[in-house]
Homo-oligomer: A and B are copies of this chain.
Amino acid sequence: MPRQTRQRAAIQRALITADRPLTIDEILASTRKIVPTIGIATAYRNIRRLVDEGWLTAVDIPGGPARYEITGKDHHHHFVCLVCDRVFEVPSCPSDLEKMSPAGFSLDHHEVVLYGKCADCR
């Protein structure tokens, strides 16, 4: 049966407190403040498991490595800071997306990614 480990607890804590999608490297950096010896394989293993269990959702931002956020958040989009590369959540959503689909196409879902500078980097 599964066991509770300090490493997995630290990974989950990192993702809960960040409140934004984190890369593997960000997860590792954050987690090492609590468990300094954690290896990269353990990060990948736990993330994969948390995704399989449905606790995490992968976020694909073009031009960067995979990021992960906690499953079940309200519909939202993402803002990429071009300076610090951090990705933030954006709670709103464009209102007129349905009209954008070409005639004869059926729209399933959509992604909006904003690029710019975050408040810290301006």
Seen from chain A, the residues whose Cβ lies within 8 Å of a Cβ on chain B are 60-63, 77, 79, 81-82, 88, 90, 92-97, 99-119, 122
Give the docked Cα–Cα distance between A79 and B98 (Å): 12
Pick 8 A–B contacts, CB within 8 A, sort by A. Answer: A92-B100, A94-B100, A102-B118, A109-B115, A110-B113, A110-B115, A111-B111, A112-B112
Q: Is the CB of A102 within 8 A of B90?
A: yes
> Which of A63, A88, A111 has its CB near the most chain B CB atoms (within 10 A)?
A111
Query: Hey, which chain B residues are within 8 Å of A63, CB to CB?
Result: 60
Q: A95-B95, A106-B122 are in contact. List 16 more A-B contacts (CB 8 A).
A: A61-B62, A62-B62, A79-B102, A90-B100, A92-B99, A94-B94, A94-B96, A94-B100, A97-B112, A101-B116, A102-B118, A104-B122, A105-B119, A108-B115, A109-B116, A110-B112
